[in-house]
Homo-oligomer: A and B are copies of this chain.
């Protein structure tokens, strides 16, 4: 999960890109970077850290030019290598190029091996390097043709923004798995960003989503945008963006994220209507469970209460509690509201259960704080399969629902009852009529190899 942004045709390109990345910080906090183009040269600044730490005035004044692309990186398995930050820059036959990428290429190892067998070197673990190699090895004279042919060998969930010395190419895969939207900056020029929440901060007006399989080209020469439909679209947007990743004020492919989450909660409530369980309040696991809990409350008429408080000051390093204080660790982020919940039956709502360990800690914490009953509700279906389309889920073995039945999970997390959304519930909550990417829930790895 990452964030990408492109700004084209605005003299404050890098500054606007940094603001957009700031608004999308929730999609990645490990590293951030921006490339700008100015007078035939590409300037890049990338580093570990938050957007607000990396981009000060000095960095932004280095990033000259009226076009820029940027990236926020989610934490990665392999340590904090600055080399795995984006944009990825390269010199190649046609000049200079810089790329940002959100997604995951499922044939990356195969492509990489072919490239390596033909003598290519890879300096990072990022699949973004694949695309640059494919572009560089192509023999076409125009970058756009090289990109097109490179993409023909590229299979997966992806959004790319590719910047040359004077153009930007914006591409979304044929399934539209990852979100990408186009806006018009009131101060001039265009913005493309993973989420529309970035538009608000830079004062841009939403135009439309990038279409599945579309390549959009920004260029000096054209007065209007140039759009090429590269692939036959087979629209399957990722359901998990609605469930968890996106900021609630974003609108993804026409649906307001917050509202879809409310709907998920409402559906959970409808399903609970005749189950005979009496609870005193609906309690969200903050922050991600809040909209669903509000929906549940609205539908059921049961009071919504912040029975768990989240501490936002949790930083990157901290005093480790000693061994005997280990139980305190979970409470550094989430704290039970004892006086509210003592002796009460709670309907607790979280967005999902992945490994089950956090849910178990939450239930135990609530019971230790006096909760009489904890009925756990999950605003998504059981996650049984790892995602290979750009979300950082663990392996099948670590997914609790791939090993346990619902009842076993309920027992494991020590809840009194446990209910999920069904897959149909989820689809209807987001909006019927769309064929969502649901591989984490149903194992349908639909991307054709």
Contacts and interface: CB of A to CB of B under 8 A. Distances in A.
A82 B339 CA distance: 37
11 contacts: A15-B319, A47-B82, A82-B82, A88-B123, A91-B116, A93-B119, A119-B137, A119-B138, A201-B331, A249-B309, A251-B338
Given A12-B322, A18-B319, A91-B122, 11 more contacts: A15-B319, A22-B318, A22-B319, A53-B315, A56-B319, A57-B320, A82-B82, A91-B123, A92-B119, A201-B332, A248-B309
Given A56-B319, A203-B328, A79 B62 contact: yes
A298 interface: yes
A197 B335 contact: yes
Contact of A120 (B52, B120, B325): B120
Contact of A306 (B203, B251, B258, B298): B258
A327 B203 contact: yes
User: Oligomeric state, in number of copies?
Assistant: 4
A403 B369 CA distance: 47
Contacts of A385: none
A117 interface: yes
A137 B120 CA distance: 7
A82 B156 CA distance: 30
A422 interface: no
Interface residues of A, number: 88
Given A93-B117, A304-B294, A331 B200 contact: yes
Given A22-B332, A249-B338, A306-B290, A319 B90 contact: no
A440 interface: no
A190 interface: no
Interface in A19-47: 19, 22-23, 25-26, 29, 44, 47
A423 interface: no
